[in-house]
Amino acid sequence: MAVATVIEEQKDKLDKTALITGSEAIAVACQLADVDVITAYPIRPYDTVMQYVCKLVANGEMDCEYIVAEGEHSQFEIVKHASACGARVFCGSSGVGWMYAMEALTVTPALRIPMIAMVGNRALDDPGAFGVEHNDALAVRDLGWQLVWVDNAQEALDTALIAYRVAEDRRIFLPLAISCDGAFLTHSQALVKIPSQEKVNEFLPQYNRGDLLLHPDNPITVAPQGNEDWVMEIRRQNYAAMERSPGVIREAYADFERIFGRSYGNPFFEEYMTDDADIVLMGMGTLSISVKVAIREMRKQGKRVGFVRMRWFRPFAAEELSKSLQRFAAVGVIDRDYSFGSPYAGGVLAGEVRHALYPGPGKKPPVVGFICGLGGREVTVPDVQKMAEAVYNAADGKKQPLTQWIGLRE
Amino acid sequence: MATYVQIDPTQKLDPFKAVKKIPLEEYFTSGHRTCQGCESALVMKMMAKAAGPRTIVLGSTGCMYVANTTYYSTSWVLPWMHTQLGSSGSAALGASAALKVLMRKGKMKQEPINVIAFCGDGGGADMGVGAISATLTHPDYNCLILMYDNESYANTDIQLSGSTPWGANTTFSTPGKVKRIMHRRWKKNMAGMMAAGHPTCRYVATVCMSYGLAAMNSMRKALAIGGPTFIHSLDPCPKGWDYDPYISHELGELAVNTGIWPLYEVEDGVLKLTGRTQQIAAKKIQRQPVRDYLLRQGRFAHFTNDDIDYFQSKIDEMWEKWLVPGVIPFRTDVEADAPPSS
């Protein structure tokens, strides 16, 4: 009895470890962040997060308005307005569901709404596919959304806490989407360290809407007609907020390390075995797992291959990445997405990497693009080895297509 | 049951006893650029007055967004926020949910605050009907959704909506050399649909600003009763209906007196016809012929006598054949429908 009382009293101070999925990790982050309004609508695979939220609410472990909407458009519109009225909000979707909400997604950044959304990345139907592709989240890349990709459940939980800290910073006030690969992360369990409420409270201040609060005490008019008179200046303010984002992200990761004792190194991209690498592969999300396994195999054969996993796609750490990539003889970019008709018919990330390299001083390594793992198809170790071969060929100056589809049934 | 639904207290908003009891303070004031004779602007003005200063207003895209809020010259004294065309229901729900949870958690001072989301007929009867319907099923969020119905997409150039009357000339249903009637759909029965389809919604009403005091008292009741509520206002529109602005009020009266626009409220499931409509139903006054209403408007100028007769027959049906006259179009027998050839 006495012991139980002590545990109860210490509850907020204790860290825990639990075997949970990526989706559940984000639900736990919402609980720790004391989110006020959450809206759900079913679509696989992101919806698992809302199933966990539902249980937390039903069990009295979380106090929030948990609203099941009648479509994704409403789902995002409801939390948009709740956030304008001062509530911390959470939302999410997948694939075509995310696209159904597109109108709401487009207006949210300009309204300076720090909405946090989880995208359980999923291929855009048709044809029907539940598996991962990144085109859903990438569809908002130009609009003022901050976009981050994670590759494990621990990182999902940690990044969700960081997301609230960054998005709700008054210097930013921009929405943020956390991308979790469908099935590979949303439905895969791992041991996750759940931080104490006390630490989370130290890390994450309350959401303060300040002078933008929609309330009778602050009777402002939000989003009137701007037209050619003012829209350009307002866009410029969005631009400035996004330009401030990298600094705020760095601060948040530094504080995260100080308070939680876990470090992510460079927040923007993770480098794996790059110190002595001849060539590197790049990619986002859970394909990192098979890439890392393949790299360890290839290194046994003396091939010095490294890997760069992009976490933050918006803001995009172009200068830093460009500086890092100049160390290598060639770069291979694995896209789990497509951009038909784009320069060199490449994927979205490949285009961004070439773009990042172009203005930089110093040498520009050749960049080969790969389209791989579409529709949830696995990116296998032999696929990765094949891609590394092509990158070596590029380093040797051999002629080959700038974009190659890997793992395709011929 | 009661323990599952937790309705926060609402403001005490007693009906105004007479026009002279209406406060002078304006919460929707100068700065807008609506047309002369715009009845929807009057709806906004009276809605803001009826609700009072402790109110949040969400406005979906439409005339009452585009014409009312120009950056640096807003006409809103109340806190106001734009919402997307089809999102009035979601906007009301989101704002109401935020107030509820923030007050419960002690993050915001406890106080009943009115939440009103308005939409036009395009935003409400067309694009936003799903979201409005969803919101009306949430019993524990206090909010009013007000649809101001000028019977077309009047801000974008007068295109037909699901709420445009049969046969009307709009820029998407312009009569031509071969086809006279390009719009062959009957107006959606939005208030009836909302009342019949949402059994836990405590208040649905139709209003018309030609009867301003009654409309304001309807709004006050909708805000005070608790839970989500819906009001449908018919707003004559000089630009869209093509008439001289000075007859706006008169057209509103004609819409009611011809029986085309029934005034009623459904409170806790109890239907009450109101105003002139009540007198029509009780046969204390006779319905005026629809001809008197139609021929005052340019949008019906292409109507033949057959068209007018057909229109009249549909209104007669509404009063003589509907099981709930003027409100719910269920019948006991199948009726043949024979519109004139277009």
SS3 of chain B? CCCCCCCCCCCCCCCCCCHHHCCCCCCECCCCCCCCCCHHHHHHHHHHHHHCCCEEEEEECCHHHHCCCECCCCCECCCEEEECCCCHHHHHHHHHHHHHHHHHCCCCCCCCCEEEEEEEHHHHHHHCHHHHHHHHCCCCCCEEEEEEECCCECCCCCECCCCCCCCCCCCCCCCCCCCCCCCCCCCCCHHHHHHHHCCCCCEEEEEEHHHHHHHHHHHHHHHHCCCEEEEEEECCCHHHHCCCHHHHHHHHHHHHHCCCCCCEEEECCEEEECHHHHHHHCCCCCCCCCHHHHCCCHHHCCCCHHHHHHHHHHHHHHHHCCCECCCECCCCCCCCCCCCCC
Q: Which phi and psi angles does A362 have, rounded to 5°? A: 80, -175
Q: How far is CA B2 from CA A13, A120, B227, B298, in A?
A: 37, 37, 13, 52
Q: Indicate the angle between helix axes B190-197 and B129-136, nearest 10 degrees.
A: 40
B97 touches chain A (CB under 8 A): yes
Which whole number is the average pLDDT over A306-318? 98
Weakest-pLDDT range from A93-102, A370-379, B68-77: B68-77
Asked whether residue A13 carries a pLDDT value surpassing 90, the answer given is no
Residue A48 sits in the same domain as residue A102: yes
Q: Do the Cβ atoms of B69 and A224 come within 8 Å?
A: yes
Residue A36 sits in the same domain as residue A64: yes
A247 Cβ contact list (under 8 Å, min separation 6): none
Contacts across the A-B interface (CB distance below 8 Å): 144
B91 touches chain A (CB under 8 A): yes
Full-model pTM: 0.96
Other Cβ atoms within 10 Å of B315 Cβ, number: 18
Q: Give A80's contacts in chain B (Cβ within 8 Å).
A: 94
A153 to chain B, minimum CA–CA distance in Å?
A: 29
Residue of B nearest to A107 (CA): B84
Other Cβ atoms within 10 Å of B74 Cβ, number: 20
Whole-number average pLDDT of chain A: 96
HSE at residue A289, side-chain half, CA atoms within 13 A, is 14
Q: Do the Cβ atoms of B74 and A218 come within 8 Å?
A: no
Could you identify the residue written with the tokens 């939005």? Answer: B190
Asked whether residue B2 carries a pLDDT value surpassing 70, the answer given is no
B99 to chain A, minimum CA–CA distance in Å?
A: 7
| DSSP string computed for A316-368 | T-HHHHHHHHTTSSEEEEEESS--TTSGGG--HHHHHHHHHHTT-SS----EE
Asked whether residue B153 carries a pLDDT value surpassing 70, the answer given is yes
Q: Do the Cβ atoms of B93 and A78 come within 8 Å?
A: yes
Q: What letter represents residue A24's amino acid?
A: E
In DSSP terms, A149 is beta-bridged to: A179
Distance, CA of A41 to CA of A96 (rounded, Å): 12
B138 touches chain A (CB under 8 A): yes
Q: Do the Cβ atoms of B94 and A218 come within 8 Å?
A: no
A354-388 confidence digits (pLDDT tens)? 999 999 788 899 999 999 999 999 999 999 999 99
A116-153 confidence digits (pLDDT tens)? 999 999 999 999 999 999 999 999 999 999 999 999 99
With bands split at pLDDT 50, 70 and 90, how would you rate the model's confidence at A1? very low
Residue A241 sits in the same domain as residue A299: no
What 3-state class would DSSP assign to A25?
A: helix
Residue of A nearest to B27 (CA): A219
Residue of A nearest to B100 (CA): A65
Could you identify the residue written with the tokens 């796609």? Answer: A313
Distance, CA of B150 to CA of B37 (rounded, Å): 12
| pLDDT of the residue at A51 | 98
Q: What is the CATH number of the domain that holds A362?
A: 3.40.50.920
More confident residue, B336 or A55: A55
Which whole number is the average pLDDT over A280-289? 98
Cβ atoms of B138 and B229 within 8 Å: the answer is: no
Distance, CA of A327 to CA of A346 (rounded, Å): 23
Mutate to test the interface with A, among B90, B141, B142 (most CBs of A within 10 A): B90
Asked whether residue A6 carries a pLDDT value surpassing 90, the answer given is no
Domain, as residue range, for A69: 2-260
Cβ atoms of A219 and B76 within 8 Å: the answer is: yes
Residue A220 sits in the same domain as residue A349: no
Q: Select the residue of B76, B105, B107 nearest A221 (Cβ to Cβ).
A: B76
Q: What letter represents residue B208's amino acid?
A: C
Angle, CA of A33, A35 and A41, to the nearest 5°: 130
Q: Give A86's contacts in chain B (Cβ within 8 Å).
A: 98, 102, 107-108
Query: Which of A260, A283, A304 represents a domain boundary (last residue)?
Result: A260
With bands split at pLDDT 50, 70 and 90, how would you rate the model's confidence at B218? very high
Distance, CA of B148 to CA of B146 (rounded, Å): 6
DSSP conformation class of A376: G
Cβ atoms of A204 and A163 within 8 Å: the answer is: no
Whole-number average pLDDT of chain B: 96
Strands, E, within A116-275: which ranges?
Answer: 116-121, 146-150, 176-181, 189-194, 221-222, 269-272
What 3-state class would DSSP assign to A231?
A: helix
Which whole number is the average pLDDT over A290-313? 98
DSSP conformation class of A223: S
Residue A291 sits in the same domain as residue A367: yes
Q: Indicate the angle between helix axes B129-136 and B88-104, nearest 10 degrees.
A: 30
Residue A82 sits in the same domain as residue A25: yes
Query: Which of A227, A260, A293 represents a domain boundary (last residue)?
Result: A260
Asked whether residue B318 carries a pLDDT value surpassing 80, the answer given is yes
> B18: left (phi > 0), else alpha (psi -120 to 50), else beta?
beta
Q: Give B6's contacts in chain A (Cβ within 8 Å).
A: none
Q: Select the residue of B69, B91, B93 nearest A67 (Cβ to Cβ).
A: B93
Residue A171 sits in the same domain as residue A290: no
Angle, CA of B41, B43 and B47, to the nearest 5°: 120
Residue A226 sits in the same domain as residue A303: no
Q: Do the Cβ atoms of A73 and B105 come within 8 Å?
A: no
Q: Give B66's contacts in chain A (Cβ within 8 Å).
A: 225
Q: Do the Cβ atoms of B101 and A65 come within 8 Å?
A: yes
Q: Give B90's contacts in chain A (Cβ within 8 Å).
A: 69, 73-74, 77-78, 81
Candidates A189, A202, A179; CA nearest to A287 is A179
Residue of B nearest to A34 (CA): B105
Q: How far is CA B15 from CA B11, B22, B230, B233, B321, in A?
A: 12, 10, 17, 18, 34
B327 Cβ contact list (under 8 Å, min separation 6): B191, B192, B195, B262, B264, B271
Q: Do the Cβ atoms of B82 and A81 come within 8 Å?
A: no
More confident residue, A12 or A93: A93
B contact residues 218-257, partner A, Cβ 8 Å cutoff: none
Q: Give A31's contacts in chain B (Cβ within 8 Å).
A: none
Q: Do the Cβ atoms of A74 and B90 come within 8 Å?
A: yes
Asked whether residue A322 carries a pLDDT value surpassing 90, the answer given is yes
Asked whether residue A10 carries a pLDDT value surpassing 80, the answer given is no
What 3-state class would DSSP assign to A17?
A: strand
- The alpha carbon torsion through B282, B286, B290, B291 (nearest 10 deg) reads 180
Weakest-pLDDT range from A21-35, A355-369, B107-121, B169-183: A355-369
Residue of A nearest to B133 (CA): A70
B258 to chain A, minimum CA–CA distance in Å?
A: 37
Query: Which of A195, A225, A260 represents a domain boundary (last residue)?
Result: A260
Q: What is the CATH number of the domain that holds A229?
A: 3.40.50.970
* CA distance from start to end of chain B: 53
| pLDDT of the residue at A342 | 97
The interface predicted TM-score of the complex, written ipTM, equals 0.96
Residue A218 sits in the same domain as residue A312: no
Distance, CA of B295 to CA of A407 (rounded, Å): 70
Residue A231 sits in the same domain as residue A249: yes
In chain B, the domains with their CATH numbers are: 25-320 (3.40.50.970)
Residue A231 sits in the same domain as residue A290: no
| pLDDT of the residue at B338 | 86
What 3-state class would DSSP assign to A144?
A: coil
With bands split at pLDDT 50, 70 and 90, how would you rate the model's confidence at B1? very low
Q: Give B101's contacts in chain A (Cβ within 8 Å).
A: 36-37, 63-65, 87
| pLDDT of the residue at B268 | 97
Burial of B234 (0-12, 13-18, 19+ CB in 10 A): buried
A315 upstream amide cis, omega within 30 of 0: yes
Residue A277 sits in the same domain as residue A256: no
Cβ atoms of A132 and A188 within 8 Å: the answer is: no
| pLDDT of the residue at B31 | 86
Task: Please give the tally of structural domains in chain A.
Answer: 2
Which whole number is the average pLDDT over B229-246? 98
Which whole number is the average pLDDT over A59-68? 97
Asked whether residue B180 carries a pLDDT value surpassing 50, the answer given is yes
